[in-house]
Structure formats: C-alpha cells, structure tokens
Amino acid sequence: MTQSTPRVAIVTGGSGGIGRAVAERLAADGMTVLVHYAGNPARAEETVQAIVAAGGTATAARADVADEHEVAALFDEAEQRYGGVDVVVHTAGIMLLSPLAELDLDDLDRMHRTNIRGTFVVDREAARRVRRGGAIINFSTSVTRIALPTYAAYAASKGAVDAMTLILARELRGRDITVNAVAPGPTATPLFLEGKEQSVVDHMASMAPLERLGTPDDIAEAVSFLAGPARWINGQVVHANGGII
C-alpha cells in the first residue's frame, strides 16, 4: 500500500482502557485517528491530547454505536475531515455479569443492543466505506473459550461478533480489506479490576502461562499488527490472552 497521506483510523470506544491504548498505538504507527466516544467527552479529549502531544493527529467524535444514523455521521466526519477511512477498530462494548439462572433480561437486551447490534451497525458502515488496503477489527473475548461462570450473556454477545467477523471477511472478497477480531483475555483495565477481590485478580493472572494479566498495550500491539502489516491474516479471531487456552 502506498499512500501520500496518512492512513485514517476510526477507533470506537477510544476514550479509555483498551480503546485509548489502541488509539494511541495507531497514531504512533502514523495513522490519523478519529477517537469515538459514547458518553465521556472529557476522557476522549484526554486521548486526543495525548496523541497530539506525542506528535500525532486526532480528533474526537460522539456516536451511539447502535444508532445507524449517528454511526453514518461518524464516518461522514472522518471522510470530510481526513478524506476517507482505512482502518476501523470497534472496541466499544459493555459487560454485565450474572449467573445465567439469575440473569436480568434487561441486562441481556442492553448487551445485545451495544455488543451485537452495535457491531453490526459499525461493520455495515465500515464495509461500505473502508478503502482498498484497509482493515476492519472487531473485539471479541477469550471468555467464549475459557467459559467462566457469570459470563454467559456477555460471551454469547461476543460469540455473535465472532460469527459476523468471519462471514464479513468472506463477503468483502475482491476488496483487499481484511476483517478480523481480537479476543482479549483478562486485561488490567479499571473496568476489569473494579469490584474484584485481590484473590480473584491473582487467580486470573495465574491462568496464563506467562503468569500475569494482560495490559491495554498488549492488546493494542495485536491491533497494530492486524491494522498494518498483517495483510495475510483475514477472517480470524486472534486470542490475545497470554496462552490461557
């Protein structure tokens, strides 16, 4: 791929945690980044300022990922501001945990809307707009294989992400666009650590042969690979979990 202008990336959920690490890494790789957020403009602006301070180019934009009109406007902004879209990384999602027998169906519906419908909406727009040589990267979870108790509804929503990832890769035949998903294992983000006893954190850290939790930068490393040099990896779910399973 030879382009005279920087490649342009949209990172959903780019205001914190893994999304912020991804946005900063892609900017460090030389991409111009549109940092998407849903409800926290201050944190999104912190991500933008960190990228700019490091010499990169970024702006923030809000959208409800499950609203097709707002997502279309997000892509419009990237095209109008930067000339097009080359990479879409969809990290935005929610995780609500409960044993299946005690599941609040309202929580199931919330995760369905954000994690499944949201991925469909973002992927649909990406499939229509990403330029040749581009990459679409969804976010799954290693819990689809690890099968931890209380994660049934969340893992089910991410199982849907796996399915649409593999199928979209095949539907984009001839477009020179890769479609993959990254499936993190336990990762030391504030969201993950919140409310967990240290014994639980220690147990999850011990699950990997590398004997530690992942970091947001570990996950961003995998995204950077898929977004850039990994042109022959396509239609895959890449488990970035330190070898848990």
- Residue 215 corresponds to which tokens in the numbers above? 């970091």
Sort 56 into a burial class: Cβ within 10 Å, 0-12 / 13-18 / 19+. Answer: buried
- Residue with the two structure tokens 């300022």: 49
Instruction: Output DSSP code: residue 101.
Output: G
List, in sequence order, the alpha helices (H) in 60-142: 68-82, 105-111, 118-129
Best CA proximity match to 91, nearest among 33, 159, 14: 14
- Residue 31 corresponds to which tokens in the numbers above? 């991409």
Catalytic residue among 37, 82, 151, 154: 154
Catalytic site residue 154? Answer: yes
Sort 131 into a burial class: Cβ within 10 Å, 0-12 / 13-18 / 19+. Answer: middle
Catalytic residues: 154
